[in-house]
Each structure stands twice: as structure tokens, then as C-alpha cells.
Structure 1
């Protein structure tokens, strides 16, 4: 498996996490198959910050909107 294949495979099993703008413990998880899932505790426990531009592209493709607080976590 090439490095690009590995990256693509990882993307398919990752969750995008959108925090509220005020950093309150409200978050929602986006998964390509599951859609939006609300679980702030899991979101905060597994989150690490990623490039907001990548998130915006994904949100645009899904008809959503990106915020400034964006995280990615392994499912």
C-alpha cells in the first residue's frame, strides 16, 4: 500500500469534529457514513486540531459550513 493509499484509508475512518465558536463543551462529529453525531465528551477526549481548509472542503462537499474551531480524531 502506498503512502497516499494509507492516507486515503485513514481519512475514510476519521471523524471530523466541529466545536462551537465559544468553546463550550458542545461538539458534533461528522463521519462520512454516520453523518453528524452529538457526543461532546468523546469529541473532546479524542480531538486534535487540523487544517481548517481541509475541513471546509469536506463541509462544502456535504452541504455544511465550517467554523474556526476544527478537530480531527480517529474513530
Structure 2
């Protein structure tokens, strides 16, 4: 079974903002922002909606300093 190391708190996300150089924060999975019920659905269902391979978990990343946003694909790992 594959799991996202970010969703499961196994790694500390550390990426610098390309605009200002400050540390970016990783937010929730992008699928959780589809609608008000998306966060309650199992990953097996929401993973089918994005068209990405099952070994990628996409997260929104945000720079708290300058407001830059992007989407980061995190490789899932074997549980």
C-alpha cells in the first residue's frame, strides 16, 4: 500500500519560495479543496479524480511571506 509521507507526517517539508527565498508551507491535498465534502472521502476515491498516477499526492504549497502559491507533487512511499 502506498501512502503520502507528507499527509502522514513522516517527513518535514522544506522548500524555499522561488520569489522571496523564505520557507514555504505545505497545505492540504489539492483534492480536499474540490468541495465541502472532499476531505471526508477516502483517498482511493479522490485519487481517481485528478488523473495523476496513484504514486503522486498533490499538495498546495504557500509562501506565508509573499503569498506565492503552487502545487507540489509528492511521491508516495510503501507503507
Q: TM-score, normalised by structure 1?
A: 0.26
The structure having more radius of gyration, on CA atoms, is 2
Q: TM-score, normalised by structure 2?
A: 0.25
